[in-house]
Structure 1
Amino acid sequence: MPKKLKVILVNISILLIGVLLMEVFFGGWFNSSNQLSNLGIIRDAKFEFDVSHLYTTKNPTITYSRDKFGLRGISAFNQPSKIKILTVGGSTTDQRYLDDSKTWQEVLEKEYRKNGVEMYVSNAGVDGQSTYGHLKSTEIWFPKIENLQPDIILFYVGINDFYKVSSDAIYDDIKEIETPGLRSQIKDKSVIYNVYRKLRGMQKAKKFEVGHRKVDFSKIPFTTEEVLDEKLLELYDEKNLIAFKARIKKLIVYAESIKAIPIFITQPTFSYQIRNGKVYGMETVQYVEDKYAYNGVGYNKLLNKLNEAMKEVSEPELVIDLTNDSAWNAIDFYDYYHMTEVGAEKLGKKIYQKLSEIKFVK
């Protein structure tokens, strides 16, 4: 064997052994704790963040805590048996840069208490998760939380599913959801795959401006003119909505299997505003997959397609529409998607009001 080829083979062997060792020690193949970590579940942790660069607040240093089960919430901390309402969603549910006492879940809980109801609300939001990730939470995370038996599960979803077009449909393949195989196992347990997934997520967050940053909305031009690529609209109808509805159905099945009421909340963003029944979207044109154009008005239209899909597979009265609420102002958001303390307080109160209107939820 030539010396050069031998060196190459030795190096490849060392690399493969290194990858194998990483999977053994850091993957979720033999350790369920690692599996949860790879899926982005933070447990038994307390952080302090300076949020003065994001929004104005009297207390710029906020506390972000997760209990040993990975849940966020003050009154039911480390006590899952107390939880009556479990909230599931992505970063807008997680609220990484809001204090433990300022999240919309805490506001919702306080609204119940003000009205004489002892209600415990817990936050199972995971930064970056779409409904695909929420399904993984129902399969891998929630069953590991002993005595978790909420009466209601609030799914605050839509934004993170917006970008799942074309190539992303492979990741959200309906067949894989219904009959998970080896590929699904690798996604759930492989540390290498999950590092790749997180890096890809960070890249997408930067590209679509869904990461945490401060936006000066006074400098953002808004328009009533719609920009929306017809092909993107077709892809939504042919791929996105079909897969999205399949995932929503699975979430409903999970909630019902643990005797909880599944309620879906559509998400507001500040990439558009609704004034006097008219949509004013950000004028800037963005692109999905570098070729499908849309602006803020087009974004609102596609987001509502996801919302209508939720209503089709759920009971309409169990879908709370906040996407089309005209109450949102620039002060409620520090970027296009994430809320300030002011916005979270408004959101918590709105959710309480909407829940109190559902007769069999009272």
Structure 2
Amino acid sequence: MTKSSLRRKFLYFLYLLIVVFVLLEIALRIYNPLHFRIRGNQILLPISQQLTIKNEINPKLDSVIINTRNGLGFRGPEKPANWDSALTLITVGGSTTECHFLSDNKTWEYQLEQLLKPAIKNLWLNNAGFDGHSTFGHQVLLNDYLIKLKPKIILFYVGINDVENDQPSFHDELNRRGGYSDLKHYLFNNSEVLNIGLNLARGWRAQKMNNTTHAMIDLQKGTARVMTEQQLAARKEQQNKFLPGYEKRLGQLIDTCQRYGITPVFMTQALLFGQGTDSLTGVNLETFDTGHGMNGRCEFEVLELYNDVTRKLCAQKNVPVIDLARLMPKNSLYFYDNVHFTNAGAGKMAAIIAPELKGIISRNFHSFAHE
């Protein structure tokens, strides 16, 4: 076979491939039977998916994790038919809200819903957390989708992903139309064919691969980092250029919710590290080297600057705040890294939030509270 013949066959194959791709793209835009995502003006949400994650890396997590997204693209029960007459509550945050590596019935949202149901009539609760999202991503989700749904309450769990952050992160942009960090994400976010292929591949990898969980912090294998008061002060001073922007974004979230008749509730960010020792391992949580030039005390005090902004702004705007950072015990039984919860941690978190949220609902939505 001559070179020219091979070249013609290759070009013909390439032509057929392009034609099939274009025709399939057009067909899927008319009707997509797999419904992998829902499109808003900007946000792209995964819908009607179930992911099975096999974990052989992190002993603090289940060996088999089931993660399900409903028809809204969130975790939790489907949208109720009696939407207007239900007490509708959606949680918004990053990975500590999404709980990607906790099974559907182990997330703190699921356990919170079970604790609230005996006291709250007609409760519906969904988890709209997205891994890596900061307040930049929360605002896009709010503008593009949640104000259209108009739940009665949005519970924001914020802080950790805004530390030293003055622009949308890679993860904030990942689900946003037009927010492409590179050509690859542009193509996948705009092509139905490539998006289906990507999601099918992710499903297969979740079945076959084990390196899908967040890294666990082994306190007993860590090292100590001693920091002087001057070093601590210098790192905290670096936050001064980030805190005003964080406060402004929190204010925008509050204002948007209130403009559309949604009650915002905020939670401060809990952290394993800080003062004292871990009761499970006896490790000093202040001097543990957490990386990025910080020890446990430094990471805690830096995060508290952001939590203080949340506390102060919510007090000024008369918005409920649940101070989880102060209420959640610093115990490695409850955390598998610095901020992500184990099954026990999610249960403890739900137990802390439930009475606080009951009080907020009783004051603001009295008709839904059982007498």
User: Of the candidates 46, 54, 60, which is equivalent to residue 50 of structure 1?
Assistant: 54
Deviation at 1:341, TM superposition (A): 0.7
Is the Cα contact below 8 Å between 1:152 and 1:261 reproduced in 2?
A: yes
Partner of 1:156: 157
Is the Cα contact below 8 Å between 1:273 and 1:326 reproduced in 2?
A: no
Q: Deviations over 1:162-196 (max 9, x none)?
A: 131xxxx3558xxxxxxxxxxx9842798656699
Partner of 1:215: 217
Q: Structure 2 matches for 1:108-147, cutoff 5 A?
A: 108-115=112-119, 117-143=121-147
| Greater displacement, 79-88 / 293-302 | 79-88
Distance 1:282 1:40 in 2: 41
Is the Cα contact below 8 Å between 2:334 and 2:342 reproduced in 1?
A: yes
Deviation at 1:325, TM superposition (A): 2.9
Distance 2:67 2:235 in 1: 38
Deviation at 1:253, TM superposition (A): 1.2
Deviation at 1:326, TM superposition (A): 5.5
Q: Deviations over 1:15-50 (max 9, x none)?
A: xxx9xx99xx79xxxxxx686699563222111112
Answering whether residue 256 of structure 2 is matched by residue 264 of structure 1, we say no
| Cα pair distance change 1:114/1:334, threshold 3 Å | same
Partner of 1:283: 288
Deviation at 1:229, TM superposition (A): 5.2
Distance 1:234 1:352 in 2: 35
Deviation at 1:334, TM superposition (A): 1.6
Is the Cα contact below 8 Å between 1:63 and 1:100 reproduced in 2?
A: yes
Distance 1:119 1:34 in 2: 25
Q: Structure 2 matches for 1:22-33, cutoff 5 A?
A: none
Is the Cα contact below 8 Å between 1:266 and 1:319 reproduced in 2?
A: yes
Q: Deviations over 1:244-292 (max 9, x none)?
A: 011101110121122121111011122335569xx942431633xxxxx
Partner of 1:313: 313
The share of aligned pairs that are identical, in percent, is 25
Is the Cα contact below 8 Å between 1:151 and 1:261 reproduced in 2?
A: yes
| Cα pair distance change 1:194/1:133, threshold 3 Å | farther
Q: Aligned-residue CA RMSD in angstroms?
A: 3.8
| Cα pair distance change 1:126/1:117, threshold 3 Å | same
Q: Deviations over 1:78-134 (max 9, x none)?
A: 438356111000001101111111111111111112336442211000011001110
Partner of 1:237: 240
**Structure 1: which 5+ residue stretches go unaligned?**
1-17, 27-32, 173-183, 197-210, 288-292
Distance 1:307 1:85 in 2: 22
Is the Cα contact below 8 Å between 1:90 and 1:125 reproduced in 2?
A: yes
User: Partner letter of residue 253 of structure 1?
Assistant: D
User: Partner letter of residue 309 of structure 1?
Assistant: V
Distance 2:248 2:186 in 1: 23
Is the Cα contact below 8 Å between 2:156 and 2:267 reproduced in 1?
A: yes
| Cα pair distance change 1:339/1:72, threshold 3 Å | same
Q: Give TM-score, length-normalised by structure 1.
A: 0.69
Is the Cα contact below 8 Å between 1:223 and 1:280 reproduced in 2?
A: no
Q: Deviations over 1:312-348 (max 9, x none)?
A: 3223661211113362311111222211111001111
Distance 2:43 2:153 in 1: 24
Answering whether residue 365 of structure 2 is matched by residue 355 of structure 1, we say no
Distance 1:346 1:134 in 2: 25
| Cα pair distance change 1:191/1:88, threshold 3 Å | farther
User: Of the candidates 331, 334, 339, which is equivalent to residue 337 of structure 1?
Assistant: 339
Deviation at 1:349, TM superposition (A): 1.1
Answering whether residue 69 of structure 2 is matched by residue 66 of structure 1, we say yes
| Cα pair distance change 1:217/1:117, threshold 3 Å | farther
Deviation at 1:353, TM superposition (A): 1.9
Q: Secondary structure at the match of 2:325?
A: coil
Distance 1:189 1:260 in 2: 32
Distance 2:43 2:182 in 1: 10
| Cα pair distance change 1:226/1:332, threshold 3 Å | farther
Partner of 2:78: 77
Q: Secondary structure at the match of 1:306?
A: helix
Q: Give TM-score, length-normalised by structure 2.
A: 0.68
Deviation at 1:135, TM superposition (A): 0.6
Distance 1:294 1:249 in 2: 29
User: Partner letter of residue 301 of structure 1?
Assistant: E
Count of matched residue pairs: 296
User: Partner letter of residue 235 of structure 1?
Assistant: Q
Is the Cα contact below 8 Å between 1:41 and 1:126 reproduced in 2?
A: no
Q: Secondary structure at the match of 2:286?
A: strand
| Cα pair distance change 1:171/1:101, threshold 3 Å | closer
Q: Secondary structure at the match of 1:323?
A: helix
